[in-house]
Amino acid sequence: LTEMGFPCIGLPGTIDNDIKGTDYTIGYFTALGTVVEAIDRLRDTSSSHQRISIVEVMGRYCGDLTLAAAIAGGCEFIVVPEVEFSREDLVNEIKAGIAKGKKHAIVAITEHICDVDELAKYIEAETKRETRATVLAHIQRGGSPGPYDRILASRMGAYAIELLQQGFGGRCVGIQNEKLVHHDIIDAIENMKRPFKGDWLECAKKLY
């Protein structure tokens, strides 16, 4: 549209948080709250029944939502697309936890990595512990937006208007280190992969 003479400014709106050039996307924090609440509820039933729970989180091919929710929700195991997955290694880690006296566990996994129902059957067969998979699916996309998302969308929207008034077009708004920025919209769309938060994963491993 910009090339046709209708200047446009894009705002990054997705729960997956997978758009280049912005630390966070509109909708990500609201979805994060929904996922963490679900994990909290799953932990209650996992603990009372001494079972292993697998929770599948959205994210397409980005593990940000899974990783953040797993840390906030205290998940013992995290499976994301940025790290090679081996179900055998996962089972060995679960067995090690059982040997240390763990009575239950939660595995957070990003969608599209494997069939979580089949994974649950495999874990149960190998560990002899009841294992259930929960696919959160589109419940993560709905609900009233959280405060940070409302503020983020407001700031980005106001900034987009400023850019249009300055004569810009074909740009995508982002936020980096709490500062509003803008980049070429084609680059943001075609290069959606962002650096993985490997330090966050290492943090989770140390905690659990």
pLDDT of residue 197: 86
pLDDT of residue 194: 72
Which candidate, 16, 26, 22, 114, places its Cα nearest to that of 68? Answer: 16
Fold for the domain defined by 28-142+197-207: Rossmann fold (3.40.50)
Instruction: Note the pLDDT tens digit of each residue in 101-148.
Output: 999 999 999 999 999 999 999 999 999 999 999 999 999 998 999 999
CATH 3.40.50.460 location in the chain: 28-142+197-207
pLDDT of residue 192: 63
Active-site option among 16, 18, 64, 149: 16
Q: For the chain, how many helices (H) and strands (E)?
A: 7, 7
How far is the C-alpha of 66 from the C-alpha of 116, rounded, in Å? 14
Taking residue 88's Cβ as centre, other Cβ atoms within 10 Å add up to 9
Instruction: Note the pLDDT tens digit of each residue in 135-184.
Output: 999 999 989 999 999 999 999 999 999 999 999 999 999 999 999 999 99
Regarding pTM above 0.85, the answer is yes
Instruction: Note the pLDDT tens digit of each residue in 53-97.
Output: 999 999 989 999 999 999 999 999 999 999 999 999 999 999 999
What number is the average pLDDT over the span 9-20?
Answer: 94
How far is the C-alpha of 6 from the C-alpha of 158, rounded, in Å? 19
How far is the C-alpha of 23 from the C-alpha of 175, rounded, in Å? 6
Q: Is 16 a catalytic residue?
A: yes
Q: Is 70 exceeded by the pLDDT of residue 193?
A: no
How far is the C-alpha of 192 from the C-alpha of 45, rounded, in Å? 37
